[in-house]
Structure 1
């Protein structure tokens, strides 16, 4: 009997420890979910200038960074339209996730075809603000609800403003204004159409692409984005205030 009671006692102790651990995990997950939820609400305020996780890393490693926060109005439309046409042409019409593009990517992957990107600007904003870099299914899974939440809480023009001020355009270079001055020696508002397009097509790989010294392939991509930006029309309606 004593031996049976001892085994039962150990079982209750084990279950108690598992219950304690499970409660702690739930609390940690709730806190992790609360942080981006609360910060996104704070980021509705125009005077708040968010920084990205990469910028935090640069500060933590004492590398520093170059970022000059600029409002959409002071940034001009060329860089806005070019980035939108390059990164997320349906930005104004979807709710944070382009489900059609995402389904196409999933079907292609299941068929063994080369992977393509389906990240929207809200998804990239979520990644830059709250998540880590690099490709993984876990990070992509976290991006989706965050992008949907960001799109509900923040107006489209504010999402674009934040994205264009935290996107990485090279080592320790963040935001369109800093990028325009670094690569072309002028403000974002004074970029030419081609310069704005070159900056836009640099975004997918800013460490390998140099908009100031574009390859032939990068120039061809920029020419295509330049034409699309000129014909953007109703696609960019949500950016107009």
Structure 2
């Protein structure tokens, strides 16, 4: 009886640790190995669809997107989005610590909330993850940001970013944004048009690039001035 009980106890413990090992293996696959594989594939293959795109379809916005390589995107747009979203894009390794510290200080002081996300972080979030601000998503965003910085490099990150971000209801990527707003391909965007597109990135469902109001005109003008500084100081050297 005692031996039988001991065998049953050992079997139960073995079953428990078997479940633990299976859970650990599943966690490693989901949170470590899986992301590495997906990032490696997307280094060469355009990401087909994102969680946000699916969400917007269910909201009734449709989906219009046409992938184009970097050589078919105007340098004006590259300079404008760097000026508007991440002036230190070519210098950091995915995370702008100075911007994060400023954002934290502003938030702690009760001022208007500011973000510290880089273009690399935005790309990781937009391409691989669901919309939201929970800690699990933020942790995965950090991991994917590290992976794309290592595995893709800056030019590929910018290419994926410009082809994936939302630029209006159901409009994704630079090519469709240029066509919808200005009736030109992304390769022919002017300095002013690029600044207007960069200006609406934070609120693409409510701000309009084609017919900007007074605030958007001022914002686009500021981005245009900053884009000139970006060009003058060579802040796009890692991309252009």
Whether these two folds match at TM > 0.5 is: yes
Which residue number corresponds to residue 145 of structure 1?
A: 143
- SS of residue in 2 equivalent to 1:95: coil
> Which segment drifts farther, 197-206 or 62-71?
62-71
Which residue number corresponds to residue 85 of structure 1?
A: 83
Contact between 1:51 and 1:166, CA under 8 Å: does it hold in 2?
no
Are 2:130 and 1:96 equivalent residues in the alignment?
A: no
Which residue number corresponds to residue 41 of structure 1?
A: 40
Following the alignment from structure 1 to structure 2, what is the Cα–Cα distance between the partners of residues 115 and 27?
A: 39
Among 194, 207, 210, the alignment partner of 1:209 is 207
Q: How does 1:41-190 map to 2 (within 5 A)?
A: 41-45=40-44, 48-54=45-51, 57=54, 65-190=63-188
- SS of residue in 1 equivalent to 2:236: helix
Which residue number corresponds to residue 237 of structure 1?
A: 237
Change (3 A) 1:136 1:191: same
- SS of residue in 1 equivalent to 2:226: helix
> Which segment drifts farther, 59-68 or 180-189?
59-68
> Which segment drifts farther, 181-190 or 103-112?
103-112
What is the number of residues matched between the two proteins? 234
- SS of residue in 1 equivalent to 2:237: helix
Shift of 1:12: 7.8
Change (3 A) 1:184 1:111: same
C-alpha RMSD of matched pairs (Å) = 2.7
Q: Which runs of 5+ in 1 are unaligned?
A: none
Following the alignment from structure 2 to structure 1, what is the Cα–Cα distance between the partners of residues 120 and 128?
A: 12
Shift of 1:189: 1.8
Change (3 A) 1:148 1:227: same
Contact between 2:166 and 2:201, CA under 8 Å: does it hold in 1?
yes
Shift of 1:222: 0.6
Contact between 1:58 and 1:64, CA under 8 Å: does it hold in 2?
no
Following the alignment from structure 2 to structure 1, what is the Cα–Cα distance between the partners of residues 53 and 25?
A: 25
Give the TM-score of the pair, scaled to structure 2. 0.86
> Which segment drifts farther, 215-224 or 104-113?
104-113
Shift of 1:183: 1.4
Following the alignment from structure 2 to structure 1, what is the Cα–Cα distance between the partners of residues 169 and 23?
A: 36
Following the alignment from structure 2 to structure 1, what is the Cα–Cα distance between the partners of residues 221 and 149?
A: 30
